[in-house]
Amino acid sequence: MTKLGILGLGKMGSAFALNLLSKGHEVHVYNRSKERLRELVAKGAIAHPSPYELGKSVNIVITSLTDQDVVESTMMGKDGALHGMKRGALWVEMSTIDPDASIRQADQAKRSGIDRLDAPVIGNPDMAAQGHLALLVGGDE
């Protein structure tokens, strides 16, 4: 079974998690604010104490964070998810970041043996909860 992890439980990240949980997926979550974690755990999500621990536990990590600095610290910082992810795992970056940051992150992921997709979102949290978003996806191939 594919284990999905979501880093960032703002309006979009929470909506992604709720939609995936409603479809029966195993969803792992991490967020700096513990209140958002409790709500999703009550609905079946598995909470982790750090991005690193989440990264160790899943096949796919989805980031939905506020900006590129938060993405980089959460994924590549001291306790970042990238350090825990297994070679061949997938990172789906859905945050709004600039192209240079995206290239830098993709290079770091590749050096770590992690596949990475850019997947900016077209839509809103209500559309995400219903599974009706459009994604502009880009990657190596």
Instruction: Please calculate the CA angle 12-17-21 and round it to the nearest 5 degrees.
Output: 150
Domains and CATH numbers, the chain: 3-135 (3.40.50.720)
Per-chain mean pLDDT for the chain: 93
Q: Cα–Cα distance between 104 and 118 in angstroms, integer?
A: 12
pLDDT digits over 22-44, tens only?
Answer: 999 999 999 988 888 999 999 99
- The yes-or-no verdict on residue 1 having pLDDT over 80 is no
pLDDT greater than 80 at residue 141: no
In this prediction, residue 72 has a pLDDT band, given cuts at 50, 70 and 90, of very high
pTM assigned to the model: 0.93
**Phi/psi of residue 47, nearest 5 degrees:** -85, 150
pLDDT for 85-117, tens place per residue?
999 999 999 998 898 999 999 999 999 999 999
